[in-house]
Amino acid sequence: MTYRAPEQSLKESDDRIDWVLSHPGMSKWLKDTLRAARDCDPVDLLNDLAMLDQLLRVRAEAQLKSSLPHMRHASGVSRDPRDRQR
């Protein structure tokens, strides 16, 4: 593992954030969040990140799981296991 000075890590992180902010394919929500995060206290930011991860990950996974049966049905794949070929 290579040691990096905190200043170097901060510079690399800021460069990556700048890249995302300048990329036209990134969402407005992500860009707004990154801009706001730069002004946050780092301890508060880490706490907020943990909370967002817990709340939004569970929600997004539930949304995906609830849409899977609809996606399978729309693709013509049967949901009935008896219809599967052996």
Residues 31 and 50 reside in one and the same domain: no
Same domain, 23 and 34: yes
45/30 same-domain check: no
Summarize the confidence of residues 40-55 as an average pLDDT: 97
Q: Give 34: exposed, middle or buried? Use CB within 10 Å, 0-12, 13-18, 19+.
A: middle
Q: What is the enclosing helix (H) or strand (E) of 62?
A: helix 42-74
How far is residue 27's CA from residue 19's CA, in Å, rounded to a whole number?
Answer: 13
The identity of residue 72, as a single letter, is: R
> Residues 52, 66: one domain?
yes
| pLDDT of res. 83 | 52
d(CA 34, CA 20): 9
Query: Do 35 and 48 share a domain, yes or no?
Result: no
Tell me, yes or no, whether 47 and 73 share the same domain. Answer: yes
Tell me the residue range of the domain where 23 lies.
9-39
33 and 48 assigned to the same domain: no
Instruction: Count the domains in the chain.
Output: 2
The model's pTM: 0.68
Q: Which pLDDT belongs to residue 86?
A: 44
